[in-house]
Amino acid sequence: MPVYEIAQFEIRPDARTRAERAMHEFANYVRAELPDTSWTTYRDPGAPAHYMAVTVNVSPAARTRQRNAPGTQAFLAAIEPLLDRAISITDCELVTSSDLARRPKGR
């Protein structure tokens, strides 16, 4: 069963460029090295220092690999000094999604 996480964090205003560079590098790492994981980050347009990252791992084992991966550790080491406060991580269980079934043709 997939494992979902939502991470919320705020970056110091003076560190946004460096933080987003680290996020892009981490997304590239996940894409290249962790095929059982996806990582998507959103920025709040009303509060541009506030970010939310959604991680989906296909299984608990994939989650363990992702958390222990060298690229994850490198990302955390790069992002932590740029944070305004600690990262808050929430584990989630899927209830439903519009992506669970095909949409009728013509819509």
- 15: CB partners within 8 A, 6+ apart: 82
59-78 in b/e burial notation, b at 16+ Cβ within 10 A?
eeebbebbeebebbeebeeb
The listed CATH number (3.40.190.10, 3.40.50.300, 2.40.30.10, 3.30.70.100) that belongs to domain 3-93? 3.30.70.100
Of 59, 58, 55, 86, nearest to 71 by C-alpha is 55
Q: How far is CA 100 from each of CA 26, 54, 92, 97, 103, rounded to the nearest angstrom?
A: 28, 18, 17, 6, 9
Q: Confidence band (pLDDT; 50, 70, 90) for 97?
A: confident
For 18-44, the pLDDT digits (tens) are 999 999 999 999 999 999 999 999 999
pLDDT at 107 over 70: no
